[in-house]
Amino acid sequence: MRTLSERILGAPAGEYVDREVDIAFAHDGTGVLAREALREMGVERLPHPERLRLIFDHIVPANTGMTATLQAELREYARASGIELSDAGGGICHQVMSEGTIRPGMVVVGADSHTCTLGAFGAFATGMGATDMAAVWASGATWFRVPETIAVNLAGRLSGAAEPKDLALAYVANLGMEGATYRALEFVGDGAAGISMDGRLTLSNMAVETGAKTGMFYADPVTVRYLAEHGATVSPQAPEDCRYERTVDIDLDDIVPLVAVPHRVDTVREAEEVAGTHLDQVFVGTCTNGRYEDLARFARIVRGRKVAVRTVVVPASRAVLARAIATGVLADIVDAGCMVAPPGCGPCLGAHAGVLGEGEVCLSTANRNFKNRMGVGGEIYLSSVATAAASAITGVITVPEVV
Amino acid sequence: MQGIGPAICLGNDIDTDLIIAGRYLRTKDRSVWAEHAFEDLDPALAGRLRGAVIVAGRNMGCGSSREQAVVALREAGVAGVVAESFARIFFRNAVNVGLPVIEASVACTDGARVAFDLDAGWVEVNGKRYPARPLSERMVAILRAGGLVPYWRSWR
């Protein structure tokens, strides 16, 4: 009679627990601060380096000499301390971890707010800050308050041009930017079974935009098959008849293409309502929508056509990029006139590779449209990949056709 | 644990991008973060932070897990942050760097005299007292030590 969080953390909601972690990762940004905190703590030897990962993704390759120096120091620390490093070009931390490392039932912490992405595997995966991460490096464990859980009950099937991102925007709008603060989300119901692993990762990714600690799916045959393809043998998780704090019902058949308008992720309109909005840039990628299915969907729409606005496409990982090359998806994207940047976070956090100028408008497949995030004075609209593709072709926000 | 200072009133959903923008993250020089705190919200704000108490609305510190946000406020000399509610990573980060955070619903005007007592569990604005939500025992211990690093050192 327990929620998935209660089962994995081994205590009822509301209790504080100390837990060993299975995997803990930090990136080139938070890793630097964690290393500093560890130094200040006076810790020299790490008890469990095999649980730790450093993954360079936020500003790769380095944009300035300072960034390069900080990355070089962290690279050297990884080598000296025995922490496995995914260096620049390997991809976004959450995507890299989704390619066979994270398994159902694991306790996963990442020094990045979107660590909730990995709840898609039925793991308890949550983000933390750098000093908390340093304590995990030093001990292999951390403390949690076991969260209450809100169920997002999915019925039916996505249809037409709607895709998991539209469903993600729909539940974020439904819950609001703080509707699930300190809670876990569980995506349940018959509708969940029909969503691919890439789609589940998109849905879990945006849990933190409602304030949630994590967004979880129960491992099922989709999970088992995906992980088998990535070299891991796992079993499904059977849901227990547990008590949720509340349940939000969403009928997938009702989902249409949606857009989050500046500057809040929970101000969501039907794409139809904002169609015609002028664009200066389209950005396809990130831990929300930079996976293979996303690039393939984008390529299907732009194939044989030309984009009318500068369009930056960033594969979420080297594996995604390699597959997109092998299947011809990348050639379609390049032939359509898009720029392709190295695997990583790209311009999502406004540091490089597509920063917006004053007054510029970007349609992005990312998860945040906070004011000035991609550049001072820039405006960010968030959409699905199909809406981004249709809009790249016309240069204005455009409702995607059913492909 | 107590604090006192003039209020700087902010609204709801102040995200960590607004507290310290992504373009300033790549350094280990903490004074840079203090200098550019809230730059995209109001460039004049950084100059008023020393000794002040930030009083925010709901969902303070949402978004990115960047710890530079709480370090920026601490380095700028902020005495504490009062908010109706906090985003959870920001809240935990603040405690970990020794920045007092107080969950309370208060009526605020810029410059009002704000005092808080975390142990007793109250906030006062211009003499009017409001209850504050108590912190967990461990969080109080970490804050009392001055943050997770000193807490760790004393505990080991």
Tokens linked to A301: 């729409």
Please tell me the predicted confidence (pLDDT) of residue B1. Answer: 86
Residue A259 near residue A268 (C-beta atoms within 8 A): yes
Tell me how close the Cα of A195 comes to any Cα of chain B, in angstroms. Answer: 26
- What gap in Å lies between CA A20 and CA A251, rounded to an integer? 38
Tell me how close the Cα of B79 comes to any Cα of chain A, in angstroms. Answer: 20
The answer, yes or no, to whether residue A51 has pLDDT greater than 80, is yes
Residue A9 near residue A147 (C-beta atoms within 8 A): no
Tell me how close the Cα of B127 comes to any Cα of chain A, in angstroms. Answer: 30
Average pLDDT rounded to a whole number, residues A3-24: 97
- What gap in Å lies between CA A249 and CA B47, rounded to an integer? 47
- What gap in Å lies between CA A279 and CA A276, rounded to an integer? 9
Please tell me the predicted confidence (pLDDT) of residue A342. Answer: 98
Q: Would you report the helix, strand and coil content of chain B in percent, each value rounded to 5?
A: 35, 25, 45
Query: Per-residue pLDDT tens for B121-146?
Result: 999 999 999 999 999 999 999 999 99
- What gap in Å lies between CA A104 and CA A99, rounded to an integer? 13
Please tell me the predicted confidence (pLDDT) of residue B155. Answer: 72
* Residues in chain A within 8 Å Cβ distance of B59: 177-178, 181, 211
Q: Which of B24, B38, B65, B136 is the mutation pick for testing A, counting most A CBs within 10 A?
A: B65
Q: Which of A352, A370, A380 is the mutation pick for testing B, counting most B CBs within 10 A?
A: A370
- What gap in Å lies between CA A71 and CA A88, rounded to an integer? 9
Q: DSSP secondary-structure letter at B125?
A: E
Query: Residue A251: what are its φ and ψ, rounded to 5°?
Result: -95, 115
Share of chain A above pLDDT 90, in %: 98
Q: Which of B16, B18, B39, B152 is the mutation pick for testing A, counting most A CBs within 10 A?
A: B152
* Residues in chain B within 8 Å Cβ distance of A63: 26
In this complex, how many residue pairs, one in chain A and one in chain B, have their CB atoms less than 8 Å apart? 119
Question: How far lies B40's CA from each of A204, A264, B57, in Å?
Answer: 29, 16, 18
Question: Which three-class secondary structure string do you get for chain A?
Answer: CCCHHHHHHCCCCCCEEEEECCEEEEECCHHHHHHHHHHHHCCCCCCCHHHEEEECCCCCCCCCHHHHHHHHHHHHHHHHHCCEEECCCCECHHHHHHCCCCCCCCEEEECCHHHHHHHHHCCEEEECCHHHHHHHHHHCEEEEECCCEEEEEEECCCCCCCCHHHHHHHHHHHHCCCCCCCCEEEEECHHHHCCCHHHHHHHHHHHHHHCCCEEEECCCHHHHHHHHHCCCCCCCCCCCCCCCCEEEEEEHHHCCCEEECCCCCCCEEEHHHHCCCECCEEEECHHHHCCHHHHHHHHHHHCCCCCCCEEEECCCEHHHHHHHHHCCHHHHHHHCCCEECCCCCHHHHCCCCCCCCCCCEEEECCCCCCCCCCCCCCEEEEECHHHHHHHHHHCECCCCCCC
Which of A129, A145, A351 has its CB closest to that of B89?
A: A129
pTM for this predicted structure: 0.96
Query: Per-residue pLDDT tens for A102-143?
Result: 999 999 999 999 999 999 999 999 999 999 999 999 999 999
Query: Per-residue pLDDT tens for B24-54?
Result: 988 889 999 999 999 999 999 999 999 999 9
CB contact under 8 A, A29 and B26: yes
Query: Per-residue pLDDT tens for A134-186?
Result: 999 999 999 999 999 999 999 999 999 999 999 999 999 999 999 999 999 99
Question: How far lies A108's CA from each of A8, A102, A289, B116, in Å?
Answer: 11, 8, 21, 36
Share of chain A above pLDDT 70, in %: 100
Q: What is the mean pLDDT of chain B?
A: 95
CB contact under 8 A, B13 and A351: no
Please tell me the predicted confidence (pLDDT) of residue B97. Answer: 97
Between A330 and A403, the higher pLDDT residue: A330
Please tell me the predicted confidence (pLDDT) of residue A403. Answer: 63
The answer, yes or no, to whether residue A283 has pLDDT greater than 70, is yes
> How many angstroms from the chain centroid is the CA of residue A261?
19
Classified as helix, coil or strand, B46 is: helix
> How many angstroms from the chain centroid is the CA of residue B33?
14
Please tell me the predicted confidence (pLDDT) of residue A93. Answer: 98
CB contact under 8 A, B62 and A129: no
Query: Per-residue pLDDT tens for A74-93?
Result: 999 999 999 999 999 999 99
Residues 6+ apart with CB under 8 A from A281: A309, A310, A311, A312, A354, A356, A360, A361, A362, A363
Query: Per-residue pLDDT tens for A325-352?
Result: 999 999 999 999 999 999 999 999 999 9
CA-nearest residue of chain B to A180? B87
Query: Per-residue pLDDT tens for B69-101?
Result: 999 999 999 999 999 999 999 999 999 999 999
Q: Which of A264, A368, A372, A374 is the mutation pick for testing B, counting most B CBs within 10 A?
A: A372
Tell me how close the Cα of B89 comes to any Cα of chain A, in angstroms. Answer: 6
Residue A235 near residue A104 (C-beta atoms within 8 A): yes
* Residues in chain B within 8 Å Cβ distance of A132: 92-93, 96, 148
Residue A202 near residue A279 (C-beta atoms within 8 A): no
ipTM attached to this prediction: 0.94
**Pairing mode of beta strands A361-364, B113-117:** unpaired
The answer, yes or no, to whether residue B156 has pLDDT greater than 70, is no
Tell me how close the Cα of B63 comes to any Cα of chain A, in angstroms. Answer: 7
Question: How far lies B60's CA from each of A110, A140, B63, B82, B119, in Å?
Answer: 21, 29, 9, 9, 22
Classified as helix, coil or strand, B9 is: strand
Query: Per-residue pLDDT tens for A210-253?
Result: 999 999 999 999 999 999 999 999 999 999 989 999 999 999 99
